[in-house]
Chains A and B, each alone.
Chain A
């Protein structure tokens, strides 16, 4: 199935996890999504291959950046802002705390929807949503429904 078809099917069935499963890199990182109270939450299940520092242990910063970027893409698809996979133009990641060897959660918010570029913020946390481990601000190119 093509990605565009997978996006359309996810919209029709409200099964966004099936769409996430179509993205090989999301599978590699063990990312799933869940719809709750009209919001899309992402989860990156802890696995040994995500570790960046085995002595602490701590997750690799790259896995957190990727989780945030994927969450921003999924949010745009979930909010029906795009009919294609959004392309990241710029992304800035702030690392706020060391991410431990456990599951990480993520949520993204659309800050401003432009005609071509959309600004999205995303935040990742582990135990406590009010204590994020990392956050990102991204500008994404989209192709909206005409």
Chain B
């Protein structure tokens, strides 16, 4: 478990240094290094609705949240701050979720090779045992270099 100072730095990195995460209102709420798990929250925002008749968030918002959460879990899995890029991402929508509610996403990076990191993730309202969307993603790991997150982490 990262100590609170670490969590603060990570929180700043994922929100303050990533304009779109900030625009969506994403917050890193929990992070562990082993297992490499990140939990992010997305507050409900009427601007992110896909169908104004029902008030459900658009699927693309859930994809963005899952992508950001997956990326966060890869940073936690890497021993040194390293730039990463999403290679592919699949999202399954198990159900519509609940209109007007915020969403939590939990991602675990379960394997890192020299070039690629592998991640699984869930999106839910109350409990990870009751997900309404699931994701699998792979990320390319760049050669270590200067990045915003690296700088934020003192790299």
- A residues whose Cβ falls under 8 Å from a Cβ of B: 2-4, 22-25, 27-29, 48-55, 59-63, 65-67, 69-70, 85, 87-95, 98
Top-10 shortest CB links A-B: A62-B64, A66-B60, A60-B20, A49-B23, A25-B58, A92-B90, A65-B63, A51-B19, A88-B59, A24-B49
CA distance A51 to B148 in the complex (A): 13
Q: Judging by beta carbons under 8 Å apart, are B91 and A91 in contact?
A: yes
Residue count of chain B within 8 Å CB distance of chain A: 39
Residue from the list A51, A92, A93, A95 in contact with B20, Cβ < 8 A: A51
Residue among A25, A48, A49, A70 having the largest count of chain B Cβ atoms under 10 Å: A25
Q: Which residues from chain B contact A70 at a C-beta distance below 8 Å?
A: 58, 60
B79 contacts the other chain (Cβ, under 8 Å)? no
Q: CB distance B89 to A61 under 8 Å?
A: yes
Contact with A along B12-48 (1 / 0, CB 8 A): 0000011111111000000000000000000000111
B64 engages A60 (CB within 8 Å): yes
Of the residues B18, B57, B61, B89, contact of A52 by C-beta under 8 Å: B18
**Complex formed: what's the CA distance from A72 to B23 in Å?**
24
Instruction: Report the minimal beta-carbon distance from A29 to chain B, rounded to whole angstroms.
Output: 8
Between A and B, 25 residue pairs with Cβ closer than 8 Å are A2-B53, A3-B53, A4-B53, A24-B47, A49-B23, A50-B23, A53-B18, A53-B147, A54-B18, A55-B148, A60-B19, A60-B21, A61-B85, A61-B89, A62-B20, A65-B63, A65-B67, A65-B89, A66-B63, A67-B60, A69-B63, A70-B60, A88-B59, A92-B88, A92-B90
B92 at the interface (CB under 8 A from A): yes
Q: Are A69 and B60 in contact (CB under 8 A)?
A: yes
The tally of CB-CB contacts under 8 A between chains A and B is 131
Q: A52-B20, A55-B148, A93-B89 are in contact. Are A27 and B63 (CB under 8 A)?
A: no
Given the known interface contacts A23-B50, A53-B147, A62-B60, the answer about A88 and B19 at a Cβ–Cβ threshold of 8 Å is no
- Contact B52 A63, beta carbon cutoff 8 Å: no
- Chain A positions within 8 Å of B87 at CB level: 94-95
